[in-house]
Amino acid sequence: MKEFTGKFNVQSAEIGIVVADFNETVTKQLVQGATEMLAKFDLENVDVYHVPGAFEIPFMTKQLLAKKEYDGILTLGAVIKGETDHYDLICQNVASGVMNLNLTSNIPITFGILTTDNIEQAMQRAGLKVGNEGAITAQSLLEMISLSRQIN
């Protein structure tokens, strides 16, 4: 039996980050967590693209897939429930948009977009008690890049 894991052939990987500035108090922490994780693997040549909100993430990601040569793309955002069903529409469409791009591109795209009931839950997942989703998503991206390199 031959097993493949994503541990960790990521030398010189070119990474793009697409981050939504909506709920910036949270998302800037996600970017920090992600960039600190990437720096642990000496990956400091990271491009960060800021979009207004999570809904704009799939479009910007699609643009990067068409115009840049990244080894992987990281999407970061924080969608926090309000009084209306706007939250549900954004979450569903952004998640399916990112997944569709994953399935049609030849590089991995990871999903670091928080979808929470309130700001407290989001902050907990941006570096407080429950870890940093940006760091977690960055590590997942590196594993996928490494795995891709092993099979290509």
Ligand X SMILES: Nc1c(NC[C@H](O)[C@H](O)[C@H](O)CO)[nH]c(=O)[nH]c1=O
Q: Provide the minimum distance between the beta carbon of 69 and ligand LTPLIIQW in the complex, in angstroms, as a whole number.
A: 33
Contacts of ligand X in 69-98 (CB under 6 A): 77-80, 90
Chain centroid offset of residue 33 CA:
11
Q: Which of 86, 92, 99, 128 is catalytic?
A: 86
Q: Which residue is nearest to ligand X (CB)?
A: 53
Q: Which residues in 104-140 are b (16+ Cβ under 10 Å) and which e?
A: ebebbbbbbbbbbeeeebbbbbbbeeeebbbbbbbbb
Catalytic, 86? Answer yes
CB crowding 61-76: b at 16 or more within 10 Å, else e: bbebbeeeebbbbbbb
Residue 90: other Cβ atoms inside 10 A:
21
DSSP 8-state code for residue 27: H
Residues of the binding site for (2S)-2-hydroxy-3-oxobutyl phosphate? 83-84, 125
Q: Which is nearer to ligand LTPLIIQW, 95 or 147 (CB)?
A: 95
Total residues in contact with ligand X, by rule CB under 6 A: 13
CB of 32 to ligand LTPLIIQW, least distance (A): 23
Interface positions with ligand X (CB under 6 A): 20, 22-23, 52-56, 77-80, 90
